[in-house]
Structure 1
Amino acid sequence: MSISDTAAIQEKIKIWKKRLAGDSNSNPLIDFRKNKKPVIDILISSSLLYKKLVGEESSPFPFNEITTKQSATERIKLLDELRKGARSSLEEKGFNSLFLVLGTLIWFDSEKPQEKYVSPILLIPVRLEKKGRKLPEFTLYPTDDDISVNFILVNKLVDEFNITLPDSDRIQKLSYENFIDAVRSAIAKQPHWQIEETAHITLFQDAKAAMIQDLEQNQDKIANHPILQGLALKRTPDNFNKLAIPQEQELDQINPSLIYQIHDADSSQQVVIEAAKIGLSCIVQGPPGTGKSQTIVNIITELIGKSKKVLVVAEKQTALEVVFDRLKKSKLEDACLNLHHQVTTKAKDFFNELDQTITKLSERNQTQQRDWDTFFKPLGDYQQVLNDHVVGLHKQEQPLNKSAFDLYGQILRLKREETPLLEFNLSNLQDWSESRLLEAKIPKELESQLKYHKISEVKIIEKEIKDKKVIYKVVGELRENQELIMENQNSCGRFILATNILDTTELPASEILRIYKQQQSSERGFRFIKDPLFFADSLFVKNPERVETMMMLMGLCLLVYNLGQRQLRSSLKTEKATVKNQLNKPTERPTLRWIFQCFQGVHILIIQGIPRILNLTEERYQILQFLPDSCQKYYSLA
């Protein structure tokens, strides 16, 4: 790798660290005063706390021996919150978030000197245990995690002030007093900066500090890793184009004895699994419920079946448990080593679990020696039968040039369209070519799409084009279906309009139609009459006098309808009232059609000769108040 590439990667690592650290000064690791988590303020010597909880001679520290700023009652409440918060982050995300903070640095921004910050300096991971309920006793325990200098503060001081604090490795060699002196020396040239030897216990939920530490400590590994090189230099890894992603149609050719999956997988999941098996790096995306977890499990089993080691990393413990539970149900838990924080906190427990895993795997390998070729042969035979079936299903049969799959598809389409079933005999059907089939089929299909035309004298012209492909040209004569056209003209070609001006010279038919079309308000007002939902019945009259009578009746009905609607709207406007419309919203302009619908379901029930009105609800009573007295009397049986 060239020097320029190395420099570019190192610059990229700085950018990553800066993004992880964040530019926000509201981070409690930058300004501890903005910490929103519970805080216990300890009033005993920081040096004593350091000796008690750090190093080989560390030991538990009962809280009844620790003096705090908070009262006893308040302290119990805060300690309980801290313990629950620490346990939650440990179980869900696998990292310890409870720290003893020793020392704070008071410093000022280089660009805004008036802005003051109070940053934690030394972070010591601790564990809090509780005994009893009524009078709980809390004890502070050291952990096996390394103590560290506030990484966010370290990066801030290096980037903005070129100040280097003692690193985490040096802390182990220095006493607390010597460490604080080294920090004082580092900031000595900064005016008004000072160190306060305070002590606090609080939660820092941000796990990014560990990521920043990893970036700092593993720069050489990052620079030499092909994937990280690709991310840093925006360059495609060298082996990317050399590894061919398997195609879905190739999956059925894989020997069953080479498959170690324990869950069902569709073709899209199989492609991902095969890509992982050949060493291709990839990102798998999908919404919940699409089988990502089971695909991960299948990838794990495929790789351990090839004697490879797999590291499963997740932010939350729940995600790891889902994968582990699937493996456990398949009796593969012995192949798993839990590296979650809870297990690795104590080195002794970790080594015991590692020893048990190795022992169980050795025992399992000894008991599983068998003839795998014989075991997998029936599965291979079934796979071949299925593959042959697919090939046969899609084989183009000659001379028809159609596959069974194509023909079955056309039959199913006809069934869905409820095409009538006709039984007839065809001779020599096996000799029919595709052109002959088209000649029999196409005219009917085309005619079904033409309403008033027929196709006759159809010819199929076959023509070969490039790559030995054949196209077919359909030639035919298109003629009008006069019989069908006349039938539709007779049934749909008349529209009756009535007028009292009988002189055709004064009002010709074309003028009647033009005037009618201009009456949009009338058309909109009475268009409900054409609505099938409003349709009551139909009758046919032939005699001109009867037609005229029906027109008069219709005109009178529409007049009454319009007058009723006008009366209702006028009453509502006068009373400044509303009724609910179809959308259950108040309106001053309801249609009488809607009022008719509102009164559907109102019945007269006669019991012992006494009529009663049923279903006359409060809403219907309200509408009646705005209708004429005659309507009110009708519904009140007055």
Structure 2
Amino acid sequence: MSIPQAEAAFDLTAATDEWRHALIEVGGNNRLLFHRDTASVIRLPETGAAIEKLLEGGVVRLTELVESGTALATAKRACAAIARKEREAREEYGVSISYLAVGLASWDPSASERMADAVAEEVSGSATASALGKSSRTPLAPVLLRAVEVRRRQGAQDSWELQLVEDFQLNGVLTHVLNSDKRRIDVDDVEGIDGADQGDIELALDLVRSSCSDIPEFVIDPSLMIGTFTYMKQPMVNDISDTEALGKSTLVRALAGDSAAVRDIRDVRDATELRDPDYTPVDSEYLVLDADASQSYVVNAAIAGRTMVVQGPPGTGKSQTIANLIANLTASGKSVLFVAQKRAAVEAVLDRLDQTDLGHLVLDLFAATGSRRYVAEQLRVVLDRQQSALAPDVATLHTALDMSRRQLVDYHDQLHARAHGMGLSLADLRNRSLALVADAPAALLIPSRVFDDWDDSTRVAMGAKFEELHAIGALTPSWDEQHGWNPTQLQTHEQEREASLALSELAYSHMPQVFAGIERLKHDVTLSIPTTWGDLDSYASVVEAAVMARRAAGPLIELGVSDDELREMRAAFDRRYARDTGLK
């Protein structure tokens, strides 16, 4: 399929520039570019035995670096503040922000027009667009940074120890600004200097000075200080600048607006199904931790190349699934980059890999970026393990696993197969049986073969008919004892037809005559109009008695005879009535 010219000419640079503009910060809030002393900054002497010991990696007490008195008290408070901020940063983001800063670089930002324009163009549209490029404010940026551990001495209430760790590194924000209009500083050349003594430090600072000799009024003050320095977005800025590497990622191009890449991602179709793990050969599955069906599905979909977002509340196994995914991809010869916003999320996955003895496969970039020795040590461990690793004998284990899994899968299939009465599975029948009363009477037992030919539609139709019977009360035990139809007398279609005809004759012939007669009598009698079958029976009995009386003694009953005269006539024939009423 050919790609339209508009899509083929997609330029990733514009998107990366926009991303970089959103991330870069060259304003006064960036302490890596505009340093100022605060209560958490400790100024150190530039020379001395304690400084040499500190640069060599030794443990140095604060009292060896700062004189007693007010300066020492201020330094102790600064150590407490640095230790608190360092702890918060490590717990929240997993990064170190406590550094020894060597050298403060400054220059005239308005004198170098090319660099000023380049910086202003990079941050165009942001709130700090002119903070550096078009401002007269002089930058004061730390040059070299080396991580430092600030520890409270055990057994001492207010005594502190300091020790440098990892290697010196160039201030990334400073390098980014100084290289904005052209490449001046080679980071590898500067960071290749050991920095274990003051001579190495001076050599590194001189290299930066000579590289920036074309920048007007560029000077470096060889100050030493300990404080918190961080710009956590700088690594992202560096990655975004590598457009060649970004362009190789279909996902990144799609995020940048490349319609062809968007279509490629959306057109990915894989045959991953939830039940794939039930049939995947056991020797091609590399789940190192327990995984349920949904977690296995995520792993298989990712291996198949699907781009997806997996959501779940805490405690649902996301870290465990990531660890399984890393193990599977690594087993297939692929490299995996795992990133997270919080260091705790990274630690959760690393801990699970350590539990399965796969921690040696991981290179922790948080630690690797600060120390080349760490990287070398990690590589040494991996190479040593490769030489001593033996091919595991898993044939017996795989055979046993395959047999057990096949047995479970067969049991599952039989349990959930809809091949039984009413189109239900055994699992469905067991679930529905829970709603039945244990000692429920069953006067009528229907053989199971009756339901053999039923399917889902039959079951739904029959269910609707039973609901209708229940609605009219036909399923109640006393239905045949109540007024109305006797269901035991309707056992054949012929009986049903005869009853239907009788009902029609009653409804359309007899009942209209009955109500017409009641309508005529309502003005001559004081009886209530019947509204139920029981009322109608009573009404008919009274009318029948009146008819019989009229037939027996018609001449005696005239419309002109009053009620009192009727009572006297009755008393003449009925002595008990006469005695009860007092009539003679």
- 2: distance between equivalents of 1:246 and 1:121? 53
Query: Taking structure 1 as reference, are residues 488 and 383 closer, same or farther at Cα in structure 2, changes over 3 Å only?
Result: farther
Q: State the partner residue of 2:103.
A: 102
Alignment match, 2:381: 356
Secondary structure of residue in 2 paired with 1:201: strand
Please state how far the C-alpha of 1:128 moved relative to its aligned partner. 4.0
In structure 1, the residue corresponding to 2:143 is in which secondary structure?
strand
Matching residue of 2:32: 29
1:96 touches 1:125 (CA, 8 Å); kept in 2?
no
Contact (CA 8 Å) 1:107, 1:118: kept in 2 or not?
Answer: yes
Q: 1:374 to 1:181 in 2, by over 3 A?
A: closer
Shift of 1:294: 1.6
Contact 1:163 1:186 in 2 (8 A): no
Within the alignment, does 1:125 sit opposite 2:146 as a pair? yes
Say whether residues 1:144 and 2:167 are aligned partners.
Answer: yes
State the alpha-carbon separation in 2 of the partners of residues 276 and 168 from structure 1: 37
Question: Residues 12-51 of structure 1 correspond to what in structure 2 (within 5 A)?
Answer: 12-22=15-25, 25-33=28-36, 38-42=40-44, 44=46
Q: What's the offset of the Cα at 1:292?
A: 0.6
**Contact kept in structure 2, 1:165 and 1:186, CA below 8 Å:** no
Of 215, 218, 223, the match for 1:186: 215
Give the distance between the partners of 2:57 and 2:360, measured in 1 at CA: 36
User: Aligned in 2, Cα 1:273/1:369: closer, same or farther, shift over 3 Å?
Assistant: closer
Which amino acid letter does the alignment assign opposite residue 15 of structure 1? E
- Alpha-carbon distance in 1 for matches of 2:429, 2:306: 41
Task: Say whether the 8 Å CA contact 1:257–1:372 is kept in structure 2.
Answer: no
User: Is structure 2 residue 278 aligned with structure 1 residue 260?
Assistant: no
1:289-329 Cα distance to aligned partner (Å, 9 max, x none)? 22111211222333344454444434544333322333444
Residue 244 of structure 2: aligned partner: 220
The answer to whether structure 1 residue 154 and structure 2 residue 177 are counterparts is yes
What amino acid sits opposite 1:424 in the alignment? Answer: L
1:517 aligns to what?
A: none
Match of 2:443 in 1: 423
CA separation of 1:427/1:385 partners in 2, compared to 1, >3 Å: closer, same or farther? closer
Does 1:77 pair with 2:80? no
Letter aligned with residue 232 of structure 1: A
The one-letter code matched in structure 1 to 2:319 is: S
Q: Distance in 2 between matches of 1:59 and 1:334?
A: 28
Q: Distance in 2 between matches of 1:287 and 1:369?
A: 36
Q: CA separation in 2, counterparts of 1:245 and 1:69?
A: 74
Q: Distance in 2 between matches of 1:293 and 1:488?
A: 75
Secondary structure of 2:146's counterpart equals: strand
CA distance in 2, matches of 1:441, 1:265: 39
CA distance in 1 between counterparts of 2:376 and 2:182 reads 41
Q: Equivalents in 2 of 1:12, 1:454: separation in Å?
A: 82
- After TM superposition, give the deviation of residue 339 of structure 1 in Å: 2.2
User: Which amino acid is the alignment partner of residue 143 of structure 1?
Assistant: E
Contact 2:147 2:164 in 1 (8 A): yes
| Cα contact 1:260–1:305 (8 A) shared by 2 | yes
| 1:333–1:439 Cα change, 3 Å | closer
Kindly state the Cα deviation for residue 147 of structure 1 after the two structures are TM-superposed. Answer: 1.6
The 1:341/1:282 distance shift into structure 2, 3 A limit, reads same
Q: 1:110 to 1:284 in 2, by over 3 A?
A: closer
- Taking the aligned partners of 2:70 and 2:174, their CA distance within structure 1 comes to 29
Q: Over residues 370-412 of structure 1, what are the superposed CA-to-partner deviations in whole Å (9 max), with x where a residue is unaligned?
A: 4555333422431442243145x31266xx5555555555555
1:273 and 2:299 equivalent?
Answer: yes
Look up the match of 2:311.
Answer: 285
**Residue 365 of structure 1, aligned match among 386, 390, 394:** 390
Structure whose residues are more often strand by fraction: 1
Aligned to 1:448: 470
Alpha-carbon separation, structure 2, partners of 1:438 and 1:199: 84
Structure 1 residues 53 and 87, CA gap change in structure 2 (3 angstroms): farther
Question: Structure 1 residues 151, 342: CA separation in 2 closer, same or farther (over 3 Å shift)?
Answer: same
Question: Which one-letter code corresponds to 1:422 in the other structure?
Answer: A
Q: Distance in 2 between matches of 1:316 and 1:307?
A: 28
1:205, distance to aligned residue in structure 2 (A): 3.7
Q: Which amino acid aligns with 2:245?
A: K
Does residue 211 of the first structure (1) align with residue 236 of the second (2)?
A: yes
Q: Select between 268-277 and 94-103 the one with higher mean Cα deviation.
A: 94-103
- Per the TM alignment, residue 271 of structure 1 is displaced from its structure 2 partner at its CA by 1.4
Distance 1:165 1:436 in 2: 82
Q: Distance in 2 between matches of 1:37 and 1:24?
A: 21
Question: Which whole-Å CA distance do the structure 2 matches of 1:334 and 1:212 have between them?
Answer: 29
CA distance in 1, matches of 2:365, 2:534: 80
Kept in 2, the 8 Å contact 1:29–1:152? The answer is no
- Structural RMSD (CA): 5.3
TM-score, L = length of structure 1: 0.55
Higher relative contact order (CA 8 A, sep 6+): 2
SS in structure 1 at match of 2:169: coil
Give me the whole-angstrom Cα distance separating, in 2, the residues matched to 1:215 and 1:101.
Answer: 28
The residue correspondences of 1:457-468 to structure 2 (distance < 5 A) are none
Residue 262 of structure 2 aligns to a residue whose secondary structure is coil
Work out whether residues 126 and 141 of structure 1, in 8 Å CA contact, stay in contact via their aligned partners in 2. yes
The amino acid of 2:254's aligned partner reads: G
For 2:352, what is the secondary structure of its paired residue? helix
Q: Which runs of 5+ in 2 are unaligned?
A: 111-127, 194-202, 475-482, 493-502, 512-530, 536-584
Which AA in structure 2 matches 1:223? G
CA distance in 2, matches of 1:141, 1:428: 82
Which whole-Å CA distance do the structure 2 matches of 1:437 and 1:280 have between them? Answer: 40
How far apart are 1:281 and its partner, in Å?
3.4
1:89-147: CA deviations, max 9, x gaps? 45764433233052254758886878846542524224245585368464563632422
Long gaps (5+) in structure 1: 460-476, 490-638
Letter in 1 for 2:103: L
Confirm whether residue 246 of structure 1 aligns to residue 272 of structure 2: yes
Please tell me whether the aligned partners of residues 150 and 162 of structure 2 are also in contact (alpha carbons under 8 angstroms).
yes
- Number of matched pairs: 449
Amino acid at match of 1:446: E
Shift of the 374–78 alpha-carbon distance from structure 1 to 2, 3 Å rule, reads same
Aligned to 1:497: none
- When the two structures are superposed, what TM-score results if normalisation uses the length of structure 2? 0.60
1:5–1:119 CA distance, 2 compared to 1 (3 A): farther
Secondary structure of 1:248 counterpart: coil
What aligned pairs does 1:173-572 form with structure 2 within 5 A after superposition? 176-177=205-206, 179-180=208-209, 183=212, 185-187=214-216, 199-216=224-241, 218-234=242-258, 235-236=261-262, 238=264, 241-244=267-270, 246-329=272-355, 331-333=356-358, 335-337=360-362, 339=364, 341-342=366-367, 346-348=371-373, 350-360=375-385, 363-368=388-393, 370-371=395-396, 374-390=399-415, 393-395=417-419, 403-404=425-426, 411-412=433-434, 415=436, 421-426=441-446, 429-430=449-450, 434=454, 442-449=464-471, 486=532
Structure whose CA Rg is larger: 2
Say if 1:439 and 1:458, in contact at 8 Å, map to a contact too.
no
Q: 2:150 and 2:293 mapped to 1: Cα distance?
A: 51
Distance in 2 (alpha carbons) for counterparts of 1:422 and 1:454: 25
SS in 2 for 1:186: coil
Secondary structure in 1 aligned to 2:339? coil
- Tell which deviates more after alignment, 132-141 or 238-247: 132-141
Output one character per residue of 1:541-563: Cα deviation in whole Å (capped at 9) or x when no partner.
Answer: xxxxxxxxxxxxxxxxxxxxxxx
Structure 2 vs 1, CA of residues 116 and 355 (structure 1 numbering), >3 Å: closer, same or farther? closer
> Following the alignment from structure 2 to structure 1, what is the Cα–Cα distance between the partners of residues 7 and 227?
44
CA contact (8 A) 2:40 2:77 kept: no
- C-alpha distance in 2 between matches for 1:4 and 1:441: 58
Amino acid at match of 2:24: A
Residue 11 (str. 1) matches residue 20 (str. 2): no
Secondary structure of the 1:365 match is: coil
| Alignment partners' CA distance in 2, 1:320 and 1:224 | 26
CA separation of 1:71 and 1:65: change in aligned 2, threshold 3 A: closer
| Cα 1:370–1:214 shift into 2, 3 Å | same
